[in-house]
């Protein structure tokens, strides 16, 4: 039943946690290992969506939309959900430095 609902809407936040809340539980984390400070990192959905969704990203530390968290530097970084398809999206932005850990929450809305 959950998988059917996730065709229309998915969030990385725990069940019962409102998007935009400050929460480190269930956040998406990745290592920016490139020697570049600009890049795109893929995030796959749990379930393929019915169409390309509208994706919003949030900092887990502040809840600010349009930001990811540089956990290594302890600050938010402006970023956006790059190209979104029915099975995932990319995180695009200028990532302050290479060799850092970043984290985020997201919502993906493909409702009618």
CATH topology classification for 2-11+25-109: Immunoglobulin-like (2.60.40)
Neighbour tally for 98: CB within 10 Å: 13
DSSP labels for 61-81?
TT--BTEEEETTTTEEEEEEE
Q: Longest Cα pair distance anywhere in the chain, in angstroms?
A: 43
Query: In 3D, which of 3, 50, 52, 60 has the Cα closest to residue 29?
Result: 60
The residue ranges of every structural domain in the chain are 2-11+25-109
Per-residue pLDDT of the chain (112 residues; tens, 9 = 90+): 888 999 999 999 999 999 999 999 999 998 877 655 566 788 999 999 999 999 999 999 999 999 999 888 899 989 888 888 999 999 887 666 667 888 999 999 999 8
């Amino acid at each position: 039943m959950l998988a059917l609902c996730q065709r229309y809407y998915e969030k990385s936040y725990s069940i019962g946690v409102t998007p935009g809340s400050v929460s480190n539980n269930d956040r998406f984390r990745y290592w920016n290992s490139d020697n570049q400070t600009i890049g795109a990192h893929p995030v796959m959905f749990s379930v393929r969506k019915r169409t390309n969704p509208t994706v919003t990203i949030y900092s887990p530390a502040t809840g600010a939309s349009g930001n990811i968290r540089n956990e290594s530097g302890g600050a938010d970084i402006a970023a956006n959900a790059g190209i979104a398809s029915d099975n995932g999206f990319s995180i695009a932005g200028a990532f302050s430095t290479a060799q850092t850990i970043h984290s985020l929450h997201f919502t993906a809305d493909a409702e009618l």
